[in-house]
Chain A
Amino acid sequence: QVQLKQWGAGLLKPSETLSLTCAVYGGSFNSHYWNWIRQPPGKGLEWIGEISHSGSTNYNPSLKSRVTISVDSSKNQFSLKLTSVTAADTAIYYCARESPGDSWGQGTLVTVSS
């Protein structure tokens, strides 16, 4: 059974770079697309982007200028970087396998505050 475990800094100042990593345990890493999705506190879900094991990416245009999703297939890990964060980027960030996500990470609350 696949498990996704994610980690990264939970408190950032405006203009800093958000950095999160998700490790995949079990299942086949190479057969899937790997996603990042976020959820502002008390609000709905927003798809950020996805990456294949070979590094092919798709991003949400609303974030594309600030987002980079990368993959390390040797470690079964993928990562999210979001530059120039503001308070509007405060959210729980989830990693997930495929869209709509048949397996999810536990979520990381990232707060942007001066």
Chain B
Amino acid sequence: DIVMTQTPLSSPVTFGQPASISCRSSQSLVHSDGNTYLSWLQQRPGQPPRLLIYKISTRFSGVPDRFSGSGAGTDFTLKISRVEAEDVGVYYCMQATQFPYTFGQGTKLEIK
């Protein structure tokens, strides 16, 4: 299985300041079709996960442009340009390049 490792596991941030989460995979996520199926999901307390970004950097419909994704191969990053109150929650990276699909451990975004 591909192991997804996120850092940090907890990120205290100040409203209006940027935040960044890293995700590293144990092997390349480049699929044989040329795509890299690395996504980011947000889970607010008591809610199902919500898709933010797919294929490294494509924002899903309705996702604010303060969220951005980058990376390649085995190293990926989610950035929030200016954290807002509604961004509090747990963020997961997920790979869908190889079965079984796997998730990172989650990064809890907390307000200082």
Contact = CB atoms under 8 A, between A and B. Distances in A.
Interface stretch (B11-19, B49-57, B76-84): B49-57
A107 B92 contact: no
A101 B60 CA distance: 11
Contacts of A26: none
B51 A47 contact: no
B41 interface: yes
B20 interface: no
B103 A104 contact: no
Q: How large is the interface on A (under 10, 10 to 19, 20 to 34, 35 or more residues)?
A: 10 to 19
A94 B48 contact: yes
A15 interface: no
User: Is chain B's interface secondary structure helix, strand, loop, or mixed overall?
Assistant: loop
Nearest to A45: B103
A68 to B, nearest CB: 16
Contact of A101 (B49, B102, B105, B106): B49
Given A45-B94, A106-B48, A101 B41 contact: yes
A12 to B, nearest CB: 21
Nearest to B50: A104
Contacts of A99: 37, 94, 96, 101
A60 interface: yes
B94 A100 contact: yes
B100 interface: yes
Given A46-B103, A47-B103, A62-B100, A100 B39 contact: yes
A17 interface: no
A99 B48 CA distance: 14
8 contacts: A44-B92, A44-B104, A44-B105, A47-B100, A47-B101, A60-B100, A94-B48, A101-B51
Interface of A: 44-47, 58-62, 94, 96, 99-102, 104-107
Interface of B: 37, 39, 41, 48-51, 54, 60, 92, 94, 96, 99-106
